[in-house]
Structure 1
């Protein structure tokens, strides 16, 4: 699909009822109720706290694709993009070929308790993406049951990543990341992995036109307890999607558009091709993610040692009475050569103090600092 066509589809299909990062069952239930008759919507299980887990099925094609989002409850960007995709599939006749070639099954929020509490873990404090083998949690059992009954040919494991990640070691934020998970300890490039690598390479080819050098891949160290690794070992090509940080986009609305375009690019490619893994080599061109970023770096600060140092600030996402706040926390006070800030300030060898005139300390919350006798607000506005 052409870039301009993808952008146009996004603008027409964006689900305006979903905004920001705090997305729960309460947000998606009215939208599920209003889906067209093309879609089958069911309650496929319950969470630890007895919240419904919804499944959505659409399409009649032979190629079966299973996608699940918010396995980690505080990673909602891919969920927003799913509802944008639902709108596109509902209204755009030009996309009917996808539904004729494929049958798609979605679990929009696998971890509704974690979504409501805005936590990575579920209500039993278990990371569902480390529960693939034990399947100790009801949410894990729901996903496995759908996987076994639907028998997908492809799996999409949909996540969000922190602002710390760079695409390689360069001053380039990893806005979107992928992974073709390993299926053995040796991380062998198997025929199965090549299929998911080929699809990722196709999505990367599209994204390079919009966010050049800002796509990354994760380390493929094998962990059989991870859902993607488990499904890959069972010879189902699996793709990890990670929605990352676009400059000044802490609500992840720009990233949402890129994830939507990635969904459509992959579905278009699968629909129209026999993906055999022969075109997998483009995957190796994508740099591996590194942890080179902080949300804010204040450079060249004096008064914290014999030489000037840098102060790194990282936002902590805190849910307060249903509202998500980004709280500035002092992460490091040291020379941060080779690291980058999404926002950088230069103290020019001046002092940086808290509002009480005291030096900052690692681990402390500081919404406002005094920089060269001027108050600077560090929180998002």
Structure 2
């Protein structure tokens, strides 16, 4: 797959009707209704608050792949990249034909539309769908599980966003994308399914390292007994966790969205063309995610402490909240102290700044 050709295509053809961090069902509804006839779409249920949840299908190959986005409502980068992928697969190019002739694809865009409105991880009843794979208390969790059981995919792409605090270990760069082949038990044994999953991630990483070297991380493989990926992997569906993170100055995650698109496309192309899934060892050479990247570091800031003035560094992470149906970004204190071992999108010498003028939040 020639990445320069793909980049040229993306520049001219990405889905420009979707942008920003907060993607709602109303944003994708018109796009769903105008998908080409090669896509088969149907409503597979409704959210707790009655918003339709769609399944989109395309392809006629033997390898079945299930891809879903926004099971956390505030994690929308994968949804944007998914609609970019819809346009690419409808483009009748050689790569798209190869994928669709060898794979059958099922997509669930925006699994948690209620959480998207409030820009929260949880659904309308406060349930984290990514921790509801066993109890399945949420209607959305049951919708996803029904698709899994009926479709019986060999592979799953579980699309998430991660906070901008992550960097690949020992790297000054943000973790623009991180990946995980989930464990199936606390022992984290290397099953055949995990080996196959790791092999796909290795292929994705090789491509991304040519584009954003040093910005790819490996998400922790600690076993979570109620997590979706861990349970789907345990059931025999090889599940790849995609975690879309920060790219410098890209707080709407539009550049990250582009690399997420490349990652999904490479993953699908590998599934469509690979003869074996045994090249997995380089998975362990992908650096673990660390938590040493901040949005802003204010260095040498003077702050009042018990009627004295102390000099310290303050690390800021941007957070988001919905006010009057609009998404607002605000500064929140992540950590304080000597932050010389941290990296940041922006580093500001605060010697002459007034602490009270920085409008910082401790929440």
Distance 1:77 1:303, change over 3 A: closer
Give the TM-score taking structure 1 as reference length: 0.91
Superposition RMSD in Å: 1.6
The aligned residue for residue 279 of structure 1 is 279
Identify if the C-alpha distance between structure 1 residues 30 and 351 changes in structure 2 by more than 3 Å, giving closer, same or farther.
closer
Task: Determine if contact 2:171/2:214 at 8 Å carries over to the other structure.
Answer: no
Rounded to whole Å, the distance in 2 between the matches of 1:170 and 1:297 is 17
Q: How many Å apart are 1:313 and its aligned residue?
A: 1.9
Distance 1:92 1:258 in 2: 21
Question: 1:332 touches 1:362 (CA, 8 Å); kept in 2?
Answer: no
* Distance (Å, rounded) in 2 between the aligned partners of 1:361 and 1:6: 42
Query: Which residue of the partner structure matches residue 33 of structure 1?
Result: 33
> Match of 1:369?
none
| 1:218-246 residue CA offsets vs partner (Å, 9 max, x unmatched) | 11011121110001111221100011100
Partner of 1:167: 168
Note if contact 2:15-2:87 (Cα within 8 Å) is conserved in structure 1. Answer: yes
Alignment check: 8 A CA contact 2:331 2:361 kept: no
CA distance in 1, matches of 2:142, 2:11: 36
Deviations 1:294-347 (A, max 9, x none): 211111223556763101222120112232111112333322231122111013
What is the aligned partner in structure 1 of residue 342 from structure 2? Answer: 339
Q: CA deviation at 1:121?
A: 0.4
Per-residue CA deviation, residues 247-283 of structure 1 (Å, 9 max, x unaligned), is 000000001110111111111111011343x100111
How does 1:205-354 map onto structure 2 within 5 Å?
Answer: 205-276=206-277, 278-304=278-304, 308-347=311-350, 349-354=351-356
Cα distance in 2 for partners of 1:186, 1:172 equals: 31
| Unpaired stretches in structure 2, ≥5 consecutive residues | none
CA distance in 2, matches of 1:302, 1:149: 60
Matched, 1:363 2:358: no
Q: For 1:239 and 1:338, how far apart are their aligned partners in 2?
A: 31
8 A Cα contact 1:169 1:292, kept in partner = no
**CA–CA distance in structure 2, aligned partners of residues 30 and 108 of structure 1:** 13
What is the correspondence of 1:142-157 to structure 2 with a 5 Å cutoff? 142-157=143-158
Q: TM-score, normalised on structure 2?
A: 0.95
Q: How far apart, in 1, do the equivalents of 2:332 and 2:39 lie? A: 44
Kindly indicate whether the alpha-carbon contact (under 8 Å) linking 1:131 and 1:227 is maintained by their aligned counterparts in 2. Answer: yes
Size of the aligned set, in residue pairs, is 359
Whether contact under 8 Å (1:330, 1:360) holds in the other structure is no
